[in-house]
Amino acid sequence: MTTRKPDTIMAHGGRDPNAHHGFVNVPVHRGSTILFPSVAAWRAAKQPGSDAYVYTRIGNPNSRAFEQTVAALEGGAGAIATCSGLAALSTALSALTSAGDHILVADTVYGPGRAYCEKVLMRMGVEVEFIAPDVGTAIASRVKPNTTLVYLEAPGSHSFEMIDLPAVTNAAKAAAADPGRLRVMVDNTWGTPLFFRTFEHGIDVSVHAGTKYMVGHSDVMLGVIVANAATEPEIRRFAHLQGVCASPDDLFLGLRGLRTMGVRLREQSQRGLAIAEWLAARPEVARVRHPALPSDPGHAIWKRDFTGAASLFAIELDGRYNLAATDRFIDSLQYFGLGASWGGFESLVYPGDDLPRAVAPPQPAGRMLRFHIGLEDLDDLKDDLNQALGQMHALSQGADAAE
């Protein structure tokens, strides 16, 4: 059973019908206290290596089922569930750094993850240095004797620049004074355990916003840290010290989401690409940022390292459309909700205004907007985009005429 394929892991992972009166799913074990029949049983449960549940914060059947399924899916040694994707990032970042360390962070990582480095880690005495997404093997010259962590994300949040993850990982480790002390962590929310095989590329830690495709229905916040055997115990110990955990109800829904993630993701991936291609052919659109498009600068790297693409990408509207016109475009969309997050069944649009960048600002031709493509009918989505682009164009024509 060691050769189970991802779809089988998603269907069978974490299930134990015999332990639950034959029920297919692990029921929600809502609770705090776990009772022991005797002092001897309590003492045995607290022995190192015991897999007994002792307290819900430390683990319960729902967290274990979810964690085991995600770890198996991605090929990590273990996984730690958290109450949000950001909590997964902050827990892993704090677990792996100490005062006096130097860390290298891709300029394109998720904004709040970056803010945690700048506002918390730096306050705790960690030196944070940002690197451009195209750093490649030149990362070697940025590694110092005290560099302990490289934190990457590909493609970049909102701006979708690819990073050569294997090249950066290998070069950073080769340049480290003690390769075992330098860990590489990737926010793999876009890649998902299905489309980017983190641990096959020498990466130590993979962090996911479970909130996105894993949950898949925009109704739960959840995060998960997956790590290799050398790193997982360290992060788990730290998570327990921090009191980081996720609620049993949310973990139940997270595991339910995973059951169908494969089909949702493959379907949304195709629809995302279809809409990206359609938008790329529009005169109102200057550029589409989607690494699965052959015209994208990151396409070769994406094609080599990824087996699929999330249904999340960005467009640059033509520079002739001002803020009022592009606001009109967003406001005219009927099926694309304006809101943060993504990975659910429904389409979304989100402005990429004022991205926090230190060394590699994206410099778009016009306003940059991020799209998430859901499971609506493709023709309906195209009709909606078409009418909203028309509204935008009409407003800008009217403005021209009034000048």
Ligand X SMILES: *Cc1c(COP(=O)(O)O)cnc(C)c1O
Return the residue of 6, 13, 78, 85 that touches ligand X, per CB under 6 A.
85
Return the residue of 14, 155, 216, 223 that touches ligand X, per CB under 6 A.
223
Is residue 157 part of the contact set for ligand X (CB under 6 A)? yes
The whole-angstrom separation of Cα 364 and Cα 367 is: 7
Q: Which is the catalytic residue, given 164, 187, 204, 296? A: 187
Nearest residue (CB) to ligand X, 86 versus 163: 86
Active site residue 110: yes
Nearest residue (CB) to ligand X, 243 versus 283: 243
Span 319-378, contacts to ligand X by CB under 6 A? 341
84: which 2 tokens? 């949000």
Active site residue 212: yes
CB of 326 to ligand X, least distance (A): 22
Residue 34, helix vs strand vs coil: coil
Cα separations (Å) of 174 from 144, 182, 227, 260, 395? 12, 10, 20, 39, 55
20: which 2 tokens? 């639950």
Is residue 150 part of the contact set for ligand X (CB under 6 A)? no
Return the residue of 62, 103, 110, 239 that touches ligand X, per CB under 6 A.
110
Which residue, judged by CB position, is nearest to ligand X in the bound state? 85
Q: Which is the catalytic residue, given 101, 110, 305, 350? A: 110
Is residue 209 part of the contact set for ligand X (CB under 6 A)? yes
CB of 312 to ligand X, least distance (A): 8
User: In sequence order, what are the residues at sequence separation of 6 or more whose Cβ sits closer than 8 angstroms to the Cβ of residue 265?
Assistant: 192, 194, 195, 213, 308, 310
- Using the contact rule CB under 6 A, the part of the chain among 1-9, 79-87, 177-185, 253-261 near ligand X is 79-87
| Nearest alpha carbon to residue 190 among 147, 232, 153 | 153
Active site residue 53: no
Residue 106 CA, chain-centre distance (Å), reads: 14
Is residue 268 part of the contact set for ligand X (CB under 6 A)? no
- Using the contact rule CB under 6 A, the part of the chain among 23-31, 206-214, 224-232, 301-309 near ligand X is 206-214
Return the residue of 63, 84, 148, 198 that touches ligand X, per CB under 6 A.
84
Span 169-188, contacts to ligand X by CB under 6 A? 187
Is residue 221 part of the contact set for ligand X (CB under 6 A)? yes
# binding residues, ligand X (CB under 6 A):
15
Active site residue 213: no
Consecutive H or E run containing 9:
helix 6-12
Q: CB-hemisphere CA count at 13 Å for 297?
A: 13
Consecutive H or E run containing 128:
strand 127-131
CB of 85 to ligand X, least distance (A): 2
Q: Which residues of 300-329 are buried (b: 16+ CB within 10 A; e: fewer)?
A: ebbeebbebbbbbbbbbbbeebbeebbebb
Return the residue of 79, 86, 149, 285 that touches ligand X, per CB under 6 A.
86
Nearest residue (CB) to ligand X, 360 versus 392: 360
The whole-angstrom separation of Cα 280 and Cα 274 is: 10
**Distance in angstroms between the alpha carbons of the first and the last residue of the chain:** 71
User: In sequence order, what are the residues at sequence separation of 6 or more whose Cβ sits closer than 8 angstroms to the Cβ of residue 64?
Assistant: 14
Work out whether the CA dihedral 55, 59, 63, 65 comes out positive or negative.
negative
Binding site for ligand X (CB under 6 A): 84-86, 89, 110, 153, 157, 187, 189, 209, 211-212, 221, 223, 341
Provide the annotated active-site residues.
57, 110, 187, 212
